[in-house]
Amino acid sequence: MKQFAKALLLSSALCALSFWPAHADMDVPALKAAIEKSFEADYPKLEALYRDLHAHPELAFQEVKTAAKLAAEMRALGFEVTEKVGKTGLVAVYNNGDGPTIMVRTELDALPMEEKTGLDYASRDKAVAFGKESFVAHSCGHDIHMANWVGTAKTLVGLKDQWKGTLMFIAQPAEEIVAGAKAMLEDGLFTRFKKPDFAFALHAGGFPHGYLNYRIGVGSSVADGLYIKFRGRGGHGATPQATIDPIMIAARFIVDVQSVISREKDPTEFAVVSIGAIQSGTVGNIIPDEAVLQGTIRTFKPQVRTKLHAGIERVAKAAAAMSDAPAPDIRIVEGAKAVMNDPAVVATAEKALKAAFGDKFRISPPGTPSEDFSEFAHAGVPSMMFNIGVHDPERWAAANNGGTPMPANHSPLFAPVPKPTIQTGVTAMTLAVLSAFDQHARGK
């Protein structure tokens, strides 16, 4: 009898479960208000952190002090922090019951360039890059990303009764040289730690703050490095007939290679070839014996990429053959892969972010720069990367009405407006993570 009652209870419980009304949608306006309240309280500390990171930037794989500052912040929040993953990277894990593991990435590194913003927290720090001393500046917004990353962690910990699962916050070194994500993966990011179920990242962009850009599928370009050495025969500048002039071969190549873009590739498909460095010769009256070129090749689609690689090789060989020079050395080095935004992850976040930001959360075409966040998606983690605007909307509007253009990422004048930029980042990233936890909890 007892057994029967138990079975009856159990079956009615199961029945009740299956008739349970559908889980109500995430209450985005209420969560947004809670996030903004928590952000307002945290902001003075976040701004101090941001200013400090901005004033003391560090180059790729040298981000020791930067990583230590973030490690301290995350430990104070109760995260378990492992340092030196992928040289200078760190992994911060926060367990909060059964559920998926969600990764949020920031970058740590800055650029070898002089900041000219005139801000009172502008960087005057220097470091050695490629054997040369250089100023260092956070001109890509990675300092904004770090403040956002700490702010998001703080907010999610504060809202821990709203989600179940594990936060895996990673701070990646060397994004600017697209080497840090690989370094972390090779150092066991997904074997020493749990491979996450989803991953998110954001990037600061040159548009008004309060706005967010996102895309489904391809989010950034594939970047391949190009290295060519043209060999000639050196001699006197006054007797060119006795030489093979590698500078002329290089010049011919630089011009002709653009015909691969304009004549061989489908004009509706994206591709760029840029030659960013030429090294050859010493003085005006010596024809040198070699010329070395370095460039970058950017594409979105594999078939366009293959076509470009073949075209570049053909043009380089032809340029040398025209001067009866030996065949050039051509190296095409695979760089960053394209960021792939997973349609299902985007669809979930999209719902929450549209509810929070309305038309300010908008689809944009893929970016032509590259990004090694792509490595995590290619390692099998469904992921999403989106952009947040950094500029004052009024100045942005004036610039678009014939005023001075606003500085883009990598400009020495790049100067995000910290508070509204970080607020948008923290709100959006927190909602994206919460939406992924919520979706998972509902088993959809």
Binding interface with Zn ion (CB under 5 A): 140
The residue (of 140 and 257) whose beta carbon lies closer to Zn ion is 140
Closest CB 142 distance from Zn ion, rounded Å? 6
Q: How far is the CB of 109 from Zn ion (least distance, A)?
A: 9
> Collapsing DSSP states into helix, strand and coil, what is residue 3?
helix
Supply 299's token pair: 């594409």
* In the complex, residue closest to Zn ion by CB: 140
Number of Cβ within a 10 Å radius of residue 308: 25
Smaller CB distance to Zn ion: residue 140 or 291?
140
- Which C-beta is closer to Zn ion: that of 4 or that of 130? 130
- CB 9, min distance to Zn ion, A: 58
Q: Least distance (Å) from Zn ion to the CB of residue 215?
A: 17
Q: What sign for the dihedral angle of Cα 172, 178, 181, 182?
A: negative
Residue 140: C-alpha distances to residues 29, 248, 300, 361 (Å): 31, 36, 22, 21
Complex with Zn ion: residue 178 or 185, whichever CB lies closer: 178
- Residue with token string 């492992």: 82
Minimum gap (Å) between residue 86 Cβ and Zn ion = 17
Take residue 20 and report the two structure tokens written for it. 């349970």
DSSP state of 292: E
What Cα–Cα distance (Å) separates residue 212 from each residue in 62, 153, 265, 363? 31, 20, 32, 9
Q: With respect to Zn ion, which residue has the nearer C-beta, 383 or 435?
A: 383
CB closer to Zn ion, 387 vs 427: 387
Tell me the C-alpha distance between 73 and 94, whole Å.
13
**C-beta of residue 289 within 8 angstroms of C-beta of residue 234:** yes
Beta bridge partners of residue 286, listed in sequence order: 236
Q: Specify the residue, 108 or 140, whose C-beta has the smaller distance to Zn ion.
A: 140
The arrangement of strands across the sheet holding 290-299 comes to: 271-279, 290-299, 222-231, 329-334
- 22 Cα distance to chain centroid: 37
Beta-carbon contacts of 176 under 8 Å, excluding residues fewer than 6 positions away, are: 60, 107, 109, 110, 111, 140
Closest separation in Å from C-beta 404 to Zn ion: 22
Residue whose CB is less far from Zn ion, 140 or 297: 140
Compute the least distance from the CB of residue 251 to Zn ion, in Å: 30
Closest by Cα among 219, 109, 120 to 418:
120
Closest distance between Zn ion and the C-beta of residue 219, in Å? 13
Question: Which residue matches tokens 């990004």?
Answer: 371
